[in-house]
Amino acid sequence: MFPAFSARYASLPDRMRAEMSPTPVSSPRLLAFNRPLAEALGLNLDALDDHQLAEVLGGNLVPEGARPVATAYAGHQFGNFVPQLGDGRALLLGELTHRDGTLREVQLKGAGRTPFSRGGDGRAPLGPVLREYVVSEAMAALGVPTTRALAAVASGDSVVRQMVEPGAVLTRVATSHIRVGTFQYFAARRDTEALSLLVDFCIERHYPHLAKSAPHLAESAPQPAESTEGGRALALLDAVVERQASLIAQWKGLGFIHGVMNTDNCAISGETIDYGPCAFMDAFHPHRVFSSIDERGRYAWDNQPAIAQWNLARLAETLLPLIDDDQERAVELATASIENFAEQHDAAWTAVLRAKLGLDSQDDQSDDHDLALGEDLLKAMEEGNADFTLGFARLSAALEDGDETLAEGFERRHRLDDWLPRWRQRLQQQGVDAPTLRQRLSAANPLVIPRNHLVEKAIRAAVDDDDLSVFESLLAAVTRPHEAPSEAWLMAPPTRDERVLRTFCGT
């Protein structure tokens, strides 16, 4: 049935988590199950039927070896520090070994009250569970580092938010669930021992190559305690900065807006985590915001790099006591690491835009030119109220069918008409044949994303009519994002009446 779980995180000191069992649900029913991911995690699917899966993944049965825990963390929420948050509705069952040899944590989200629930019911409504399932699997198919969805289980119980809604439990899989907020929780308590344990845990799980570059982790090369601990903490910070810079560039390249980039939603692993009021843009606008709770646009599309850097600065603050005993020296080293974010993000963003335009790097001087070329297309999209996803996807067709194929998606095309000759000239300079170029463009620019109005349509059908057919069709389409679906509505932008301008968290 289920392979034996390990309990690495549950073996950390008691103050880092609360050990407890999920609260049973009244009538678990399997709604969606990710068979390829289950097979990669070693589940014996021939020995499990839907009822058994629902009992375990709904929280009614705890599998062998699992030690369910709610993890402790704090966080800055919209810039305001909350010293204790923690898993208020999630329980980490333990770890399974993926077929690639790495560990994956398995977590039940919506598993009932924990000591961190802060008065909440510890449950999850069906709508947000389906949203996270479809969006996280779309991100995985698009090649973006992300948590994954293993299962969605209807609980048979009601959840009260703004209205009475059916409840559900999401089974989420991640390389780990450690966040910037996890470090903040222990820094606020001046618990340097816990911080040091977290640094070691994160290096082991996410950055094992640092064990070689940070000699304190190698028994053959002991060093004085101050320098060894400082070396590993700073190496971890550098590595997290690099991954976050790449991640945000990938988000931007898909028109993705996370919606709640609080420090408790910033994963040390560099994975996208906690899909609450997230959204993909339809018509491009750099200041686009969808989250109903982001009233001032803190987490708008174009603000995401600056917010990521701000979050990383908060991580750096927690590591100062480990980086160097000399406070000024520690601040100097940490500041240099954080300041590297801008350069790393710009390089990653340039690479993303270059790929989306079908370009390769010619020399160092081409970077600024290609960045400007990509951002000028975005300005043309903004002026023309053009769809972000289809605007890029139609570049491939424009090679064969001419400029009108691309221009038909623009309400105003003055900037686009100025841009197209520059792009074609740049393509000619690199001397790539047309089939290769079309292949590049198709690989970098998806046809299908989980558009807000389609996610909402899927949720409404499931919640109001117990109809999962829209969800299943959407999931099938977004997990093959570079293929035109058989049903055109799965890739079409919304009509004016279909537009969804506000998304909600569900907590």
In sequence order, the 6+-apart residues with CB closer than 8 A to the CB of 304 are 248, 251, 252, 257, 258, 261
State residue 505's pLDDT score: 79
| Mean pLDDT (the chain, rounded) | 93
Is residue 220 over pLDDT 60? Answer: no
Give 10-37 pLDDT, tens digit per residue.
999 999 999 999 999 999 999 999 999 9
Q: What is the dihedral of CA 65, 67, 71, 72, to 10 degrees?
A: -130
Is residue 217 over pLDDT 90? Answer: no
Is residue 64 over pLDDT 90? Answer: no
Give 438-482 pLDDT, tens digit per residue.
999 999 999 999 999 999 999 999 999 999 999 999 999 999 999
Sort residue 255 into left (φ over 0), alpha (ψ -120 to 50) or beta: left
Q: Catalytic site residue 367?
A: no
State residue 99's pLDDT score: 95
State residue 309's pLDDT score: 98
Helix (H) or strand (E) holding 164: strand 164-174
How far apart, in whole angstroms, are the C-alpha atoms of residue 23 and residue 194? 29
How far apart, in whole angstroms, are the C-alpha atoms of residue 99 and residue 300? 37
- Specify whether the CB–CB gap between 468 and 32 falls below 8 A: yes
**Catalytic annotation, pick one of 49, 200, 238, 264:** 264
Which pairs from 494-501 meet CB under 8 Å and 24+ separation? 494/282, 494/451, 494/452, 494/453, 498/453, 499/282, 499/452, 499/453, 500/279, 500/290, 500/452, 500/453, 500/455, 500/456, 501/290
- Specify whether the CB–CB gap between 494 and 451 falls below 8 A: yes
Give 125-146 pLDDT, tens digit per residue.
999 999 999 999 999 999 999 9
Q: Which residue has the higher pLDDT, 488 or 398?
A: 488
Is residue 367 over pLDDT 90? Answer: no
Is residue 362 over pLDDT 80? Answer: no
Percent over 90 (pLDDT), the chain? 86
What confidence tier does 212 reach under pLDDT thresholds 50, 70, 90?
A: low
Give 246-278 pLDDT, tens digit per residue.
999 999 999 999 999 999 999 999 999 999 999
How far apart, in whole angstroms, are the C-alpha atoms of residue 458 and residue 324? 52
Give 276-334 pLDDT, tens digit per residue.
999 999 999 999 999 999 989 999 999 999 999 999 999 999 999 999 999 999 999 99
